[in-house]
Amino acid sequence: MIKNALTVESLKPADSCVIWLHGLGADRTDFEPVARMLQPQLPTTRFILPQAPTQAVTINGGYEMPSWYDILAIAPGKRSINSEQLENSTQQLINLMEQQRDSGISPSRLFLAGFSQGGAVVLHTAFLRWNEVLGGVMAMSTYAPTFEQVSALNPLQAQTPTLCMHGVHDPVVPLFMGQAVQQQLNSWGVPVTWHDYPMEHAVCPEQITDIGNWLSAQLS
C-alpha cells in the first residue's frame, strides 16, 4: 500500500495537484526539493509524494527496498515484473487521485509524475486504468511494461498531455526504452512532448525548468 505520502502544500489555495512517484530504492523525499523549486512558478499547485512499500526485489538478490513492484528479470528492452504488485500500487495511486478529486481538484488539473519505476506505475495507471481526462502525465527516465496489453486507448485517455524526458546516457533504463514510450503514445494519438538531456539516470536543472514551463502551459 502507498502510505505516509508527503504533501507539499500549495502557496495559495490549491486548484491543481501533482502526484509524484519516486524510483526503485528511493523514497518520498527525493522530489521534495524539486516540488519546492517549482512552487513559486506554480503557487496554486499541491504536490503529493507517496512512499513505496519496502519489499524484496528479485533482480537485487531479494534485498528489500522501497519498490512499487518486484522486478523478476531484465532482458534488453524488457522487464519481467510482478503484475499483482503493480496493480496494488496502481490502485493505491488511484485512491490518492480520487481523494484529490473529492477534495475539489478537477481531474483535468491533476497530474501524475513518475521517475523510473514510479513512471512505469504512472503510465500504467493513466493509460490502462484511469478513465477520465487528466491534466497530464510526466514520464521521467522510464518505460512502459504493460503497453502491449492494449491496442488502443479510449478517447479520454488519448487526450492526456504527456511529457516524456530521458537521459541520453542512461545505463539503467536505456534511452530507446523511453523513446518506445513516446512512439507508442504517438501512435495512439496522445499529445506528447519529448525532451532528452546529456545525463545518466538522473534529473538535471534544465529538466526542472522544462517541467515548470510545461506544467504552467497545461494549467494556463
Q: What is the pLDDT of residues 114-150, one digit of tens each?
A: 999 999 999 999 999 998 889 999 999 999 999 988 8
| Domain presence at residue 68 | no
Instruction: For residue 96, tell me if it sits in a domain.
Output: yes
Instruction: Please indicate whether residue 32 or residue 3 has the higher confidence score (pLDDT).
Output: 32
- Which of 143, 139, 141 lies closest to 180, judged by CA? 143
Domain with 28, as residue range(s), is 3-52+83-219
Q: With cut-offs at 50, 70 and 90, classify the pLDDT of residue 66.
A: very high
In terms of DSSP bridges, do strands 63-66 and 71-75 run parallel, antiparallel, or are they unpaired? unpaired
Exactly one of 16, 67, 89, 116 is catalytic; name it.
Answer: 116
- 78: in domain: no
Assess if residue 169 is contained within a domain. yes
Catalytic residue among 89, 124, 141, 170: 170
Mean pLDDT of the chain, nearest integer: 93
* pLDDT for 148: 87
Please indicate whether residue 201 is annotated as part of the active site. yes
Looking up residue 23, the CATH number of its domain turns out to be 3.40.50.1820
The catalytically annotated residue of 108, 196, 201, 210 is: 201
pLDDT at residue 1, rounded to an integer:
40
Residue 58 domain-assigned (yes or no): no
Intra-chain end-to-end CA distance of the chain, in Å: 34
Q: What is the pTM of this model?
A: 0.94
Tell me if 67 is assigned to some domain.
no
Cα–Cα distance between 42 and 211 in angstroms, integer?
11
Count up the domains in the chain and report the number.
1
3-state secondary structure of 217: helix
The verdict on whether 170 is a catalytic residue reads yes
pLDDT higher than threshold 50 for residue 78: yes
Residue 112 lies in a domain: yes
Q: Give domain status of residue 76, yes or no.
A: no
